[in-house]
Amino acid sequence: PEPCSPPEPPKTQPGALPGPTRWGICSAGAISHDFVVALKTLPPSEHTVAAVAARDLGRAQDFARRFGIPRAYGSYEELAEDPDLDVVYVGVVNPAHLPTGLLFLRRGRAVLMEKPMGLRAHEVAQLVGMARERGVFLMEGFWTRFFPAWRRLRALVAEGALGSPLVLRGALGFALRGVPRLREPGLGGGVLLDLGCYGLQMALALLGSGAPPSLRAHGVLHETGTD
């Protein structure tokens, strides 16, 4: 196959103001840390982190100092009211995705939601419905969809270069015993929402169009009830 294509240049939206995309970061946890580290690899002329919010002001201020972010807030509501943002990255724990996402969408904020977008299909429907009602951008943060290798693989399948794929077999192995939230139902725990979604979204993208006619799952449950 041909080599992977280089990244696409950023597209300027009609009516957009000149200058970098101004990001707000919702939550000062580990996943938000990793997102900002990745964002900092891009040219500051294209992306800048303008503000961060956490439920604890001290944590937000520590996060802001670490990354040189000019504004820190002690509530998500304050971040939602910041007029100098173009998009908010939401990195809160899984059960908070719905209320936090609705908070920003209702205020007309574009949202990049860390996966999974919601715990249940009806939660995703609520978020999508609010984004459509307000006419704002909403996307689930699957970074793998933007890897050049992934784009090339999808192109090969679309061209028929691999024939007609019938089976996708994938495996992810991580030592997760030290991640307490994965064992807690109240925190949206379980490996399917955390990691299994990678395999599911690949299968949906490569094994035909539309929703599958049926889904089956089998596995082992933790004593707390999470998978």
Q: Which of 102-106, 122-126, 197-201 shows the lowest per-residue confidence on average (mean pLDDT)? A: 197-201
Q: What is the pLDDT of residue 7?
A: 54
Q: What is the pLDDT of residue 101?
A: 98
Total count of domains within the chain: 2
Note whether 191 and 110 are same-domain residues. Answer: no
Domain residues for the domain of 104 are: 21-141
Q: What is the pLDDT of residue 196?
A: 86
Note whether 136 and 172 are same-domain residues. Answer: no
Residue 223 in domain: no
- pTM of the full structure: 0.87
Pairing of the two strands 87-90 and 21-26: parallel
Closest by alpha carbon to 127, among 118, 119, 135? 118
Residue 29 has pLDDT above 80, yes or no: yes
Q: Supply angle C-alpha 64, 105, 80, rounded to 5.
A: 35
Note whether 135 and 199 are same-domain residues. Answer: no
Residue 188 in domain: yes
pLDDT level of residue 14 (50, 70, 90 thresholds): low
Q: What is the pLDDT of residue 102?
A: 98
Query: What amino acid occupies position 152?
Result: R
Q: What is the pLDDT of residue 13?
A: 53
Q: Where are the alpha helices (DSSP H) in 49-196?
A: 57-67, 76-81, 97-106, 121-134, 148-159, 191
Note whether 131 and 84 are same-domain residues. Answer: yes
Q: What is the pLDDT of residue 11?
A: 56
The average pLDDT across 189-217 equals: 84
- Average pLDDT in the chain: 89
Q: What is the pLDDT of residue 190?
A: 87
pLDDT digits (tens, 9 = 90+) for 30-84: 999 999 999 999 999 999 999 999 999 999 999 999 999 999 999 999 999 999 9
Query: What amino acid occupies position 226?
Result: T
Q: With contact defined as beta carbons under 8 Å apart, do 193 and 94 qualify?
A: yes
Note whether 25 and 126 are same-domain residues. Answer: yes
Q: What is the pLDDT of residue 50?
A: 98
Which run of H or of E encompasses 199? Answer: helix 197-206
Note whether 159 and 196 are same-domain residues. Answer: yes
List the structure tokens of 96: 């908070």
Residue 98 in domain: yes
Task: For residue 40, indicate whether it is catalytic.
Answer: no
pLDDT digits (tens, 9 = 90+) for 137-175: 999 998 888 899 999 999 999 999 999 888 888 888 888
The average pLDDT across 110-135 equals: 96
Q: What is the pLDDT of residue 167?
A: 86
pLDDT level of residue 88 (50, 70, 90 thresholds): very high
Catalytic residue among 23, 72, 115, 202: 115
Query: The domain spanning residue 132 has which CATH number?
Result: 3.40.50.720
